[in-house]
Amino acid sequence: MECWYKDTNMIKLSKPYIPSSSFELIEQVIQSGNLVQGEQVSAFENKLSKYLNIEHVIVVSSGTAALHLSLLALGIKANDEVIVPAYSFPAVANAVEMTGASCCFVDISLDDYCMDTKQLESKINKNTKAIMPVHEFGQSADMKPIMALAEKYNLHVIEDAACAIGTKYDNQFTGTFGDMGCFSFHPRKILTTGEGGAITTRDKTLADRLRQLRNHGIQSTDGKIEFVFAGYNYRMTEFQAAMGLSQLDEINTTIDIHKEQASFYHKAFSPIPGIHTDSNFENRFQTYQTYHIIFESGQIRNYVKKELYQMGVESNIGAYAIPAQSYFNNKYNVSKLDYTYADIAYKCGLALPVGRHLKEKDISFISSSVIKLVQDGL
């Protein structure tokens, strides 16, 4: 297929959007000499708190650090079990392993790529202490049944909202339903600080514990420092916070662009046999941090991915069937029958470019190229 942008740069899967005002604020940070966890970090936390409409926000060094600290703050430990989706980036399961607890995997639904709540109750046992739903690709997990089961069995809920800042369920932001919500500000996210993350909670006791754990276990009382936990250095820098502050001012515009591009893809792909798109739900507002489709086979997915690259379009697998990865396969040896749809999404799924760096002609070219490749066949 002829590529209309010959000899130009590749269309990237994603590209961070950094407003010029971020650079001005970063320069102020450099001149101040205060580079770690100061004025900008506090301002970023306060701004996130107002945006998400939740009392406490604790920013940290990464989304993985957010997950890890959340589990530690709840006292998750060896011999405990935490339910996680079988399909996501492995960080959600890695965080559980870091506490000494065990993962219990539940398959996903291909309607939203999130935890299949119909299978959730069967996974709960006497060792289960928490449920960690992932709002995959900026789509909300089905939170109503998750919260109902958590209440029924007295379980904690930690939301992995790494890809879902701005996503809503029943007009409430994801990351604000459970005991805690965890966000990532990795470069592929709608809001980025390079690396970085945040934890949200309505519980002041948890918030205080999280702040201590992220900063070496320090508790400061009347100017006196005590080390009350064996804590971590999971702090966010002032540079990162300054970068995030300016993007937060424009986050609604960024989300609108992602949704408009996703709508274009949806209209193009929905009528095409052999291309599966996720569903739209009336009570969910999806931000489309990633736009993900599924083909009829892994062979077709790999062919489309390879051919797109030759045309100058970057694409990638969306996420992983976690139980199939060597560490988790060796430890848990979960039958593929228990994560059928996670395996399909992993082997046959493809993430396509989306973001403020793209123009309408880019989205049009990508979608028409994918359709032609599928229709022409291998």
Contact predicate 35/65, CB 8 Å: no
- 13 part of a folded domain: no
Q: Which single residue is written with the structure tokens 């029924």?
A: 152
Segments forming the whole domain that contains residue 237: 20-249
What pTM does this model have? 0.95
Q: Is 64 in the same domain as 154?
A: yes
Q: Is 48 in the same domain as 128?
A: yes
Three-state DSSP at 294 gives strand
- Predicted confidence pLDDT, tens digits, the chain (378 residues): 334 344 457 999 999 999 999 999 989 999 898 888 889 999 999 999 999 999 999 999 999 999 999 999 999 999 999 999 999 999 999 999 999 999 999 999 999 999 999 999 999 999 999 999 999 999 999 999 999 999 999 999 999 999 999 999 999 999 999 999 999 999 999 999 999 999 999 999 999 999 999 999 999 888 899 999 999 999 999 999 999 999 999 999 999 999 999 999 999 999 999 999 999 999 999 999 999 999 999 999 999 999 999 999 999 999 999 999 999 999 999 999 999 999 999 999 999 999 999 999 999 999 999 999 999 986
Structure tokens, 146: 């998750």
Quote the CA–CA distance of 196 and 61 in Å, as a whole number.
Answer: 4
- Give the number of residues written for the chain: 378
Q: Is 225 in the same domain as 261?
A: no
- Report the number of distinct structural domains present in the chain: 2
Q: Is 174 in the same domain as 28?
A: yes
